Chain A
Amino acid sequence: MNPAIAIRQKWQHTDLGKTQWLAISRAVALPILGLLLFMGLWHIGAQQVDTSLGTFPGPVEVKQQWHNLLSEHQAENQREAAFYERQQERNEKKLAANPDADIKWRDFNRRPTFFDQIITSLITVMTGFLLATVIAIPLGICIGLSNNMYRALNPIIQIFKPVSPLAWLPLVTMVVSAVYVTDDPMFAKSFITSVVTVTLCCLWPTMVNTAVGVASIGQDLKNVSRVLRLGWLTHVKTIVLPASIPMMFTGLRLSLGIAWMVLIAAEMLAQNPGLGKFVWDEFQNGSSDSLGRICVAVLMIGFIGFLLDRALLLLQSRVNWDKNAVMR
């Protein structure tokens, strides 16, 4: 090989390695730098704020509270296990003494820990969000397909879209209490109230975005459907749905974000179980640890919101036909 070429290739090789290394370090180092900067400012800033519950917690205190919450959760788990073990022993003894003895099983009265509240919140938000999706996507498709439907429903959407969850909540609470009357409730009333509030607030972005996506399908594709004389259902399945998937997911992500925000507010105000109630209880509790524990909850709420968004993004990349689409 010509030595000149060899040298040039080698040089190009190291050059490529250099740019790659730079790109990687940028992708890793800059976020870390940002986080460190934030921690530093938080640490310094927190010390300046004196509240009636003591100094505002910095990163160190919050980490301490995180460990406390974890160990409380483990302690509660152990208490529960011990309770059932004792019950088992007692019952076995009873049975050994008298095989016909009347045996009672009691449920452990668990105090919901921070992590129990997270699970409750997640179940509630997913239920409300799924309910909203099931309503919003078909309605959005109908609104997008029909101008008359759009004209009829648009005022209603525009009026209800900006309503805050806090305004809905008293109404929903009263209606649920009045309507959901059974002797053997499958769900707690508080659960239904939260779910309905979440649904009412997070319907709109999915509905509006789906409608816009459907309405902006190109005339060419509609003509193809007309020339082939596709039936309504086939038209929706083969053309409308795939074409509006990107817009639909934009709406779904907005909706899920709103659902999560709304849920926390609703739980706080209505004393429904969940993370919102945890925050409110800590606030009412007013111990010197309270602020730290609330900080843990705040970070957790943000982190879960982020994970929920990522999960939807992952789902979108699975469902979307356009594998080249840039998603962020």
Chain B
Amino acid sequence: MNNVHLELSRVGISFPTPKGPFCALKDVDLKIKKGEFVSLIGHSGCGKSTVLNIVAGLYQASTGGVVLNGREVNEPGPERAVVFQNHSLLPWLTAYQNVELAVKRVFGRSKSRREMREWIEHNLELVQMGHALHKKPDEISGGMKQRVGIARALAMEPQVLLMDEPFGALDALTRAHLQDSLMEIQADLGNTVIMITHDVDEAVLLSDRIVMMTNGPAATVGEILDIELPRPRDRLALADNPEYNHYRSAVLRFLYEKQRKVEPIATRRGTAGSSGKSKHHAA
């Protein structure tokens, strides 16, 4: 693949535990092009978040490494902005101030005060939060908080946008609304995005590629599915689209046949001891 923007090569990580090192990830290989939207999907505890945290630089890989634009990633930085699962806004700052904190860090030298103010407002309007610039996180809904979190990440003009289950804590309607917003914004800005999700529909709807991960321990990339649906995508039109349903069932088959986590109750009863152990590892 030419034109590689972000490359994970043979990334592995193990955590020390009292029983010796626990290998969470092993040999994760992934090449991502500029402007690509990649979803990571897998059962909980399979190490999706760990992959994202390594790309973000919040964790250090034990083996292998991450290369962004020809440079190895060793520490966190604003060129790899993260949208956290639970928004992680500073509760003592308003929406505007939360975005301002990031903008000041990234553009404090290159933009004037007025340019920064316009840039902050522009980004908050991009996520349709222009009406609540000066509200604190306590005063707005969960979906709105997540919007501000996305605005904060976008305002850093990151080379890669990392999203850790950004819509996981939201109700279905809000989630659909935010997914549409995200698709629009991505079509406009052409960000490279890595998104973690549990939601098969969300993955197929938003992604250019879906990376399906095997179960831990020593989780790795199981299959990669290219989604060749034309953009812009419309969730209603796609609902009856055979191609869409084909992608959907491919992901489902991977998750529930090849990487079956939930064993039939009868077999689980027979092997209660061993399943309990594997559950512990997964957690």
* Chain B residues closer than 8 Å to A223, beta-carbon distance: 56, 58, 76, 82, 84, 88
Of B56, B81, B105, B138, most A-chain CB atoms within 10 Å: B105
Q: How far is the CB of A151 from chain B (nearest CB, A)?
A: 19
SS class, residues of chain B in contact with chain A:
loop
Q: Does B91 contact A (CB under 8 A)?
A: yes
B 44-82 contacts with A by CB, 8 A: 56-58, 75-78, 80-82
For window 121-162 of A, CB contacts with B under 8 Å fall at none
Quick check: A221 and B76 within 8 Å, CB to CB? no
B81 touches A227 (CB 8 A): yes
Interface majority SS (helix, strand, loop, mixed), chain A: helix
Contact B84 A224 (CB under 8 A): yes
Q: How far is the CA of A220 from the CA of B92 in the complex (A)?
A: 15
A242-B82 contact, Cβ under 8 Å, with A223-B58, A227-B56, A229-B105: no
Cβ contacts under 8 Å, A46 to chain B: none
Contact A228 B92 (CB under 8 A): no
Tell me whether A228 and B105 are in contact (CB under 8 A). Answer: yes
B91 and A224 contacting across the interface, CB-CB below 8 Å: no
With known contacts A220-B84, A238-B101, A226–B76 Cβ distance under 8 A? yes
Q: Chain A residues near B105: list those with CB within 8 A.
A: 228-230
The answer to whether A242 and B90 touch across the interface, beta carbons within 8 angstroms, is yes
A228→B58 contact, CB < 8 A: no
Report Cα–Cα, A312/B58, bound state, in Å.
39
CA separation between A228 and B156, bound complex, in Å? 9
Is B227 in the interface zone, CB < 8 Å from A?
no
Contacts of B56 in A (CB 8 A): 223, 227
Q: Using a Cβ–Cβ cut-off of 8 Å, how many residues does chain B contribute to the interface with A?
A: 22
How far apart are B138's CB and chain A's nearest CB, in angstroms?
Answer: 7
Among A223, A238, A242, A322, chain B packs the most CB atoms within 10 A around the CB of A223
- Say yes or no: is B218 at the interface (Cβ < 8 Å to chain A): no
Decide if B90 touches A238 in the complex (CB within 8 Å).
Answer: yes
CB distance from B119 to the nearest CB of A (A): 16
Given contacts A229-B105, A230-B105, contact A224 B78 (CB under 8 A): no
**Binary per-residue interface labels of chain B (172-186) against chain A in the complex, 1 for a CB within 8 Å, 0 otherwise:** 000000000000000
- B14 close to A (CB within 8 Å): no
Q: Does A270 contact B (CB under 8 A)?
A: no
- Chain A residues with CB below 8 A from B282, complex form: none
**Nearest Cβ on chain B to A236's Cβ, whole angstroms:** 13
Nearest B residue (CB) for A230: B105
Which residues in window 118-157 of B have CB below 8 A to A? Answer: 136, 138
A221 pairs with B88, CB closer than 8 A: yes
Please tell me if A321 contacts chain B, counting CB pairs below 8 Å: yes
B92 engages A227 (CB within 8 Å): no
| Residue numbers in B under 8 Å from A242 (CB-CB) | 90, 92
| Chain B residues with CB below 8 A from A230, complex form | 105
Given A229-B105, A238-B101, A324-B138, are A224 and B90 neighbors across the interface (CB < 8 Å)?
yes
Interface string of B84-104 (1 = CB under 8 A from A): 101010111100000001100
Instruction: Collect the chain A residues with CB atoms within 8 Å of residue B91's CB.
Output: 321-322
In the assembled complex, how far is the CB of residue A294 from the closest CB belonging to chain B, in whole angstroms?
47
A229 CA to B56 CA in the complex, in Å?
12
Write out the residue numbers on chain A whose beta carbons fall within 8 Å of the beta carbon of B78: 227-229
Instruction: Indicate whether A239 reaches chain B with its CB closer than 8 angstroms.
Output: yes
What distance in Å separates the Cβ of A149 from its nearest Cβ neighbour in chain B? 22
Binding site for B on A (CB under 8 A): 218, 220-221, 223-224, 226-230, 238-239, 242-243, 321-322, 324
The 10 listed contacts between A and B (C-beta, < 8 Å) are A218-B88, A220-B84, A226-B76, A227-B56, A227-B77, A228-B78, A229-B76, A229-B77, A243-B92, A324-B138
Given A230-B105, A242-B90, 12 extra CB contacts under 8 A: A218-B88, A220-B88, A221-B88, A221-B90, A223-B76, A223-B84, A226-B57, A227-B58, A227-B82, A242-B92, A243-B92, A324-B138
Q: What are the 8 tightest A-B residue pairs by CB atom distance, in nearest-first order?
A: A321-B92, A220-B88, A242-B92, A226-B76, A227-B76, A228-B105, A224-B88, A227-B82
